[in-house]
Structure 1
Amino acid sequence: MIRPVEERYRTVRDLFPELRIEMVGGRIVVNEPGTWQHNTIIAQVLFQLVPVVAERGWEIWPNISVFIGAEADRYVPDLTVVPQNPVMETDEAVHGRSTVLLVDVVAAGNAYDDHVVKPMSYAPAGVPLYLVIDPFQRMVKLHGGPEVSGYTQVTVEPVGVALHLPAPWDHTLDTGKLLDV
């Protein structure tokens, strides 16, 4: 049986396929297209990730739900990096443990969700790495070591400091290129 909020979520998602529709904390969140600053940050992340992703045969998906449980919310990160042949729940939802990195850029109305709510759900779902880029606080936060109780490793750095992505990446991001430092 589909929960009423799940039904409303699917209806809104079907009505606005061009927008990122999420269900966060049981509420439906309609994310408008990003600002030029938001999109520039995403582009800078892509420039740094694409060589590694291409070398390893992974893929970057900009608009896919992450399945974190049957009775759970539905999140759509700004970027989702998946290995070859990821495990899918549906055509629109990849299993959290079948990702190699999720990336969100904080927007004015979603800071709490990106910093607090999503990590609490991603960790028990097995999402190995969750990167939050916060242009307002001029910092990046990398969550790793997922366990049922939460992430065991959280690295917070100001923009401008190199950020190492651990295995399976073993790659360093130049955070100074993400924002105009």
Structure 2
Amino acid sequence: MPIEDFEDLAEVAPKGVRLEYVDGRVRTKDALSVEDFEELERHAPETVRLEYINGKLEVKAMPDGNHTSIFMWLLRQCMQHLPDLDLAPERGVKAEAYRKGRARTDGFLAPVDHFKGDREWSDPDGSLMAVEITSRDRDTNQRDRIDKPVGYAEADIPVYLLIDRDNNTLTVHSEPKDGRYQQISRHPWGATVELPAPVNITLDTEKLKDYAD
């Protein structure tokens, strides 16, 4: 996070929330409640995307062009094969046990009008899939590969699809039980990938090779 963004964020922090800037990262000096996080997020600058994962404040990188192109590729697949569903971009989701986490998904697959009337953070009940596309930031490994599979499984989101730009793979997590996905499969870009129930579509991922960087 640039120091300018941190300074803008610190100015709108709720009373009692003390932020610090260490090695380019923003952290809280004290334990952060989900209520204080939501207030901070509501007032954050437009250039700052915040998440609340494992009880900690996280900053999600802004998407670059390849990130956006990958999402649009997946959106076209879903529109073609799942016309009665919406793949919502940048959807805030209540994740983790007891809905205490706040994750900003790159894509969230759910029935049409599932998000009608919601505010910033939606309940995961009735959803089919969460999607993350890795970004070029230092926290990707912990956030997308370790913390979010747990948070989404604890929220009983049936499928978690990770499109990993670091190693050009898709990782499909499914069958959440007791806070863990029981089935995990990894596929190279270019493979034919089956997304299991309740998504039930086949992805031809050859196009993803165009976005390798």
TM-score range, shorter chain: 0.7 to 0.9
Q: CA offset at residue 117 of structure 1?
A: 0.7
Name the CA distance, whole Å, in 2 between partners of 1:37 and 1:85. Answer: 28
Name the CA distance, whole Å, in 2 between partners of 1:71 and 1:58. Answer: 23
1:63 — aligned with what? 90
Name the CA distance, whole Å, in 2 between partners of 1:46 and 1:178. Answer: 13
1:127 — aligned with what? 157
Compared CA separation, residues 177 and 17, structure 1 to 2 (3 A): farther
Q: CA offset at residue 161 of structure 1?
A: 0.8
Compared CA separation, residues 115 and 89, structure 1 to 2 (3 A): farther
More displaced stretch, 23-32 vs 3-12:
3-12
Compared CA separation, residues 168 and 70, structure 1 to 2 (3 A): closer
Residues 135 and 179 of structure 1 are in contact (CA less than 8 Å); yes or no, is this contact kept in structure 2? no
Name the CA distance, whole Å, in 2 between partners of 1:33 and 1:87. Answer: 23
Compared CA separation, residues 87 and 33, structure 1 to 2 (3 A): closer
Which runs of 5 or more structure 1 residues have no equivalent in the other structure? none
Residues 99 and 155 of structure 2 are in contact (CA less than 8 Å); yes or no, is this contact kept in structure 1? no
Return the letter of the residue paired with 1:47: R
2:171 aligned with 1:141: yes
Q: CA offset at residue 89 of structure 1?
A: 10
Name the CA distance, whole Å, in 2 between partners of 1:76 and 1:111. Answer: 16
2:108 aligned with 1:80: yes
Q: Give TM-score, length-normalised by structure 1.
A: 0.85
CA displacement 1:120-161 (0-9 Å, x = unmatched): 121121100000011111111000001114111111111111
How many residue pairs align between the two structures?
177
Residues 173 and 183 of structure 2 are in contact (CA less than 8 Å); yes or no, is this contact kept in structure 1? yes
Q: CA offset at residue 93 of structure 1?
A: 2.4
Among all aligned residue pairs of Structure 1 and Structure 2, give the percentage whose two residues are the same amino acid.
Answer: 26
2:56 aligned with 1:27: yes
Which of 194, 197, 204 is the matching residue for 1:164? 194
2:118 aligned with 1:93: no
Q: CA offset at residue 27 of structure 1?
A: 2.0
Name the CA distance, whole Å, in 2 between partners of 1:130 and 1:142. Answer: 6
Return the letter of the residue paired with 2:38: R
CA displacement 1:83-108 (0-9 Å, x = unmatched): 24548995222222321111100112
Q: Give TM-score, length-normalised by structure 2.
A: 0.74
Moved over 3 A (4+): 16-20, 84-90
Return the letter of the residue paired with 1:44: W
Name the CA distance, whole Å, in 2 between partners of 1:46 and 1:144. Answer: 20
Instruction: Give the root-mean-square deviation of aligned CA atoms.
Output: 2.4
Name the CA distance, whole Å, in 1 between partners of 2:73 and 2:57. Answer: 29
Which runs of 5 or more structure 2 residues have no equivalent in the other structure? 1-30
Which of 46, 69, 73 is the matching residue for 1:44? 73
Residues 89 and 95 of structure 1 are in contact (CA less than 8 Å); yes or no, is this contact kept in structure 2? no
Compared CA separation, residues 169 and 65, structure 1 to 2 (3 A): same
